[in-house]
Amino acid sequence: MMFGFDPLYFIIIAPALLLAGWAQMRVRSAYTHGMQEPANLSGAAAARYILDEGGLHDVPVEEVPGELSDHYDPSTRTVRLSSGVYHTRSLAAVGIAAHEVGHALQHAHNYGPMALRAMAVPAATAGPWIFLVMFFAGLFLSASAPALGHSLIWIGIIAYSGVAVFQLINLPVEFDASNRAKRLLDEMNIVDPQGLLVVRDVLNAAAWTYVAATLQAVLTVLYYVIRFGGIGSSRDE
């Protein structure tokens, strides 16, 4: 079996695919509704206010193109907000902006899981490429040197697992940023209790996308282990 259609793969990752589809629909619904609910501040103004109140006057808030392209860049210590979030005075906008500011606060306060996530980025980035090289090298050598070929395939699977490790570390980082956002929006009276319910819906919907991505990464590693982990001893399957 090479990289082609394999029913086993879709059977294994089906729960993740279903969860991801549901999460995307929920995000779209919550975001659309939340962008229609008015707030006193725009996303940019809310981000700037929370940053300043937290003493992070040197962290800029910048506009970036795209929809739901909001993120915090730890390399430049910059909060970047999509155009809609940046300019719109809506509950979704202030909620998303506060979430990204939550990452800036994590960075400033040396939040442990965020530091671990930064350390895991190289493994998550290089892991799939290492897997491809080791996998094909292992297949090539499996006929003439089965033990070596099997070892190379396992090295590739272990390398790919860096993606799953990154996603697992990322979960508490994202959850904590959302919790910080909801708490700060409430404590600073940026949204009222009724508005906070809308913000929670938006941020909780987004959280499910991280869960889905994590589940897919873990199940993909499981598939590789089941399908290719024993190739050295079961080449005739």
| Element (DSSP H or E) covering residue 42 | none
Count of beta carbons in the 10 Å neighbourhood of residue 48: 20
The reply to whether 37 belongs to the active site is no
Q: Which amino acid is at 127?
A: G
Given 62, 100, 187, 237, the catalytic residue: 100
d(CA 69, CA 86): 11
Alpha-carbon distance of 59 to 77, in angstroms, equals 6
Tokens 């779209």 correspond to: 28
**Nearest partner of 131 among 221, 15, 193, 191, judged by Cα:** 221
Picking from 20, 16, 29, 22, the residue whose alpha carbon sits closest to that of residue 201 is: 29
Q: What is the 3-state secondary structure (H, E, C) of 53-99?
A: HCCCCCCCEEEECCCCCCEEECCCCEEEEEHHHHHCCEHHHHHHHHH
Just list the catalytic residues: 100
